[in-house]
Structure 1
């Protein structure tokens, strides 16, 4: 039987260790653990057989001190608020570490997308994006793909936002190239992991010739890392 990891505690523990190393003030440390906003929504879906199912959706905006909230949206049957909180805060630290003008956010729906038809997936995606629309914007919060979401889902998001506000290519990243997406985006995370591993090995004088590695998961990131 699998045991669900307490993502929030693990993230807070990592943050506390980093904060201790840099001597971060306790008041600032406590403040940075609390997200700016948490939105939890109901996402009803009319399935192809006419029945209606409701799913739980989330968008957590952790911190925007450095710029608009930025982070992916995942569709997974184990997504919950605790996980999304954790991932939103990690996005804040990632954007800060690489010094780009964004904050951290994350979102998701508790759903197994593999159990939906393509038409059902489109309806669910569009309904979710309309539901979180009030807190999304190019200068507020910019979603992106994540686990079980892709360029097609970002295209639906882009179209849905366009119907409400006019065509706005910058409202999502990870969209199809023909709609203004970036070349290499799909492979970037996995290839970045491989490059960081190579450079870290150089720094610590680890010979990678003939070395073996363990890749946990073989989705979009793991497949390109391998």
Structure 2
């Protein structure tokens, strides 16, 4: 914690395991309610993921305690302050973006601590365009398509002999977290499996639900413009019709 800053700058760093190699690697989660237990579990998850992919990195995670209503300047100030706090751990932890952080934040960290001190830096710093292109989301959709393809083969196993295999046209999808991964996942899903119905999405401000399917192209455009979608869509499209509108909105995203 930085006790001298006028901003609240602090958080929790967990380096779970270095058996696969040094440093550990894992994203920075920036939320108001992040806890040490959350970060410990996520760091263990990174150990397992990096190991499963045979990457020469251990598992780590950083959680920053910060409110979601920070101004852009305050957000950068918090990230810059955290960068200085974790500088001493560069040999055991390299961060990337996660919930509440992005490639621009990795650029801030790299400026403070060196180019090799963060992954997923933006293209103007020699990095990649993962968030912009939705690469992580593309992996989710490829996994879904592969699952649908291999499910019929599972019936040769006794435990799956009565397995019900849905047609893609019968799939109803909920996306919890319409952000850098979720928004692109919705977009790519409608491009590759257009018959799928995405009936619910959520973000930090609430959720939207429509049993007949949500207008993903319109919602993706909202997200590109202002990142948080649900409340903005409610104010622009639902509020005048109220309960008569087929899409329902709630301010509690966890109820989706």
* Same fold, judged at TM 0.5 (above): yes
Match of 1:148 among 52, 76, 100: 100
Higher relative contact order (CA 8 A, sep 6+): 1
Larger radius of gyration: 2
Residue 137 of structure 2 is matched in structure 1 by 190
Offset of residue 63 of structure 1: 0.5
Contact 1:85 1:106 (8 Å CA) reproduced: yes
Contact 2:103 2:131 (8 Å CA) reproduced: no
| Root mean square deviation of aligned Cα | 1.8
> What are structure 1's unaligned runs of at least 5 residues?
1-41, 47-51, 163-168
Offset of residue 55 of structure 1: 4.0
When normalised by structure 2's length, the TM-score is 0.62
Contact 1:125 1:156 (8 Å CA) reproduced: yes
Distance 2:78 2:129 in 1: 27
Distance 2:99 2:86 in 1: 19
Contact 2:32 2:65 (8 Å CA) reproduced: yes
Residue 57 of structure 1 is matched in structure 2 by 11
Contact 1:60 1:88 (8 Å CA) reproduced: yes
Residue 77 of structure 1 is matched in structure 2 by 32
Residue 252 of structure 2 is matched in structure 1 by none
Residue 43 of structure 1 is matched in structure 2 by 2
Residue 107 of structure 1 is matched in structure 2 by 62
Offset of residue 79 of structure 1: 0.7
Distance 2:128 2:181 in 1: 17
Q: Tell me: CA distance 1:157–1:130, structure 2 relative to 1, closer, same or farther (3 Å).
A: same
Distance 1:78 1:128 in 2: 17
Number of aligned pairs? 171
> What are structure 2's unaligned runs of at least 5 residues?
153-164, 187-256
Distance 1:119 1:45 in 2: 18
Offset of residue 210 of structure 1: 4.4
The SS at the match of 1:181 is coil
Distance 1:53 1:170 in 2: 27
Distance 1:109 1:181 in 2: 23
When normalised by structure 1's length, the TM-score is 0.70
